[in-house]
């Protein structure tokens, strides 16, 4: 297949690109030129935000599949999709389960109500949920039944440029007592970027369309399994100090940002970690064990000297060392 990857040089986009190359598919990457694309692709340069070159490089050529991971203003998805609609067979948009109205009840499937107020024509600074829903609408408007909407949840794995799993790996690698947010058996729901990439390509090749929640089953892993894996693969002597969520919240610790991936029981946990998954699993989605994701992410991180890339539009995550010292002392 001939694939056009809009992006393709970082995290999910790169995982899709590498997965397509591994299948001996012909891959074209359209990007701004800030990072080197994987070897073996054809590269086109432009700027979807209207900067140098714009979409001019996409004015010619045809592809079987377009994959788009854009998370900014929906108008960028609209413009790209309209430019390509007559020259591409299928359009896969990597969306998010954030498109559902909050709070999303446990087990919510793809027929759940989406956020209101989203527009494919929105430009500028758009809240994440509205941006992703607007991107969906733009893809559907241009490609209709030829559009696949992959509503991912938490995405981790090698290449992560948000810093969640890399932070835990770095923290456990330093050793010593480590604040671990309890309970140990708190359920996690996520997807490895490589599993997402593989499913996207399979789904597109099969002509799937419409929305799919592309996440593992709820409880695919737990905080205990995740952090135990971090300690094991780093070979550290870190001691996990499991701490009651109430104590962490009382101390002002912010779930998700201060202690990445941690969410105490409640609406947000149900929304992000209890999503319906059966439709995507019936369509072939499979998620590898957490230990494999953690080990491969550590190998990738070590290859970078222990420093993960950081998206400029996302704040760094992780607990302040001084705050952790106070919690440990208490």
Minimal CA–CA distance to 168: which of 227, 216, 83, 214? Answer: 227
- Whether residue 215 contacts residue 277, with contact meaning beta carbons closer than 8 Å, is answered with yes
Each residue of 180-217: pLDDT tens digit? 999 999 999 999 999 999 999 999 999 999 999 999 99
Each residue of 217-270: pLDDT tens digit? 999 999 999 999 999 999 999 999 999 999 999 999 999 999 999 999 999 999
| pTM score of the predicted model | 0.97
Name 168's Cβ contacts closer than 8 Å, sequence gap at least 6: 226, 227, 230, 260, 261
Tell whether the model's pLDDT for residue 52 goes beyond 80.
no
DSSP 172-200: HHH-SEEEEESPTT-EE-EEEHHHHHHHH
Question: What is the distance, to the nearest Å, from the Cα of residue 298 to the centroid of all Cα atoms in its chain?
Answer: 18
Tell whether the model's pLDDT for residue 313 goes beyond 90.
no
- Whether residue 247 contacts residue 264, with contact meaning beta carbons closer than 8 Å, is answered with no
Residue 189 has a pLDDT of 98
CATH number of the 2-152 domain = 3.40.50.720
- Domain covering 161-187+220-275+292-329: architecture: Alpha-Beta Complex (3.90)
Give residue limits of the domains in the chain: 2-152, 161-187+220-275+292-329
* Residue 264 burial class via C-beta count within 10 angstroms: exposed 0-12, middle 13-18, buried 19 and up: middle
- Whether residue 149 contacts residue 93, with contact meaning beta carbons closer than 8 Å, is answered with yes
């Amino acid at each position: 297949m001939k694939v056009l990857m809009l992006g393709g040089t970082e995290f999910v986009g790169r995982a899709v690109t590498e997965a397509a190359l591994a299948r001996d598919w012909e891959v074209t990457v359209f990007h701004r030129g800030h990072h080197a694309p994987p070897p073996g692709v054809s590269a086109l340069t432009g700027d979807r935000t209207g900067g140098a070159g714009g979409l001019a490089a996409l004015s010619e050529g045809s592809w079987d599949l377009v994959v788009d991971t854009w998370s900014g203003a929906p108008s960028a998805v609209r413009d790209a999709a309209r430019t390509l609609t007559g020259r591409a067979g299928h359009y896969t948009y990597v969306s998010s389960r954030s498109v559902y109205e909050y709070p999303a009840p446990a087990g919510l499937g793809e027929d759940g109500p989406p956020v209101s107020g989203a527009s494919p024509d929105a430009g500028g600074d758009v809240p994440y949920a509205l941006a992703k829903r607007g991107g969906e609408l733009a893809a559907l408007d241009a490609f209709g039944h030829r559009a696949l909407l992959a509503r991912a949840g938490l995405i981790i794995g090698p290449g992560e440029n948000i810093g969640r799993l890399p932070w835990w790996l770095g923290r456990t690698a330093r050793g010593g007592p480590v604040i671990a947010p309890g309970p140990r058996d708190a359920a996690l729901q996520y997807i490895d970027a490589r599993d997402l990439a593989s499913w996207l390509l399979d789904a597109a090749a099969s002509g799937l369309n419409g929305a799919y929640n592309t996440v593992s089953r709820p409880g695919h892993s737990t905080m205990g399994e995740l952090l135990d894996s971090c300690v094991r693969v780093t070979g550290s002597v870190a001691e996990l100090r499991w701490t009651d969520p109430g104590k962490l919240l009382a101390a002002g610790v912010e779930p998700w940002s201060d202690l990445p991936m941690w969410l105490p029981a409640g609406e947000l946990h149900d929304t992000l970690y209890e999503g319906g998954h059966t439709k995507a699993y019936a369509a072939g989605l499979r998620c590898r064990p957490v230990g494999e994701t953690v080990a491969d992410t550590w190998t990738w991180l070590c290859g970078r000297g222990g420093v993960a890339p950081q998206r400029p539009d996302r704040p760094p995550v992780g607990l302040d060392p001084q705050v952790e010292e106070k919690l440990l002392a208490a």
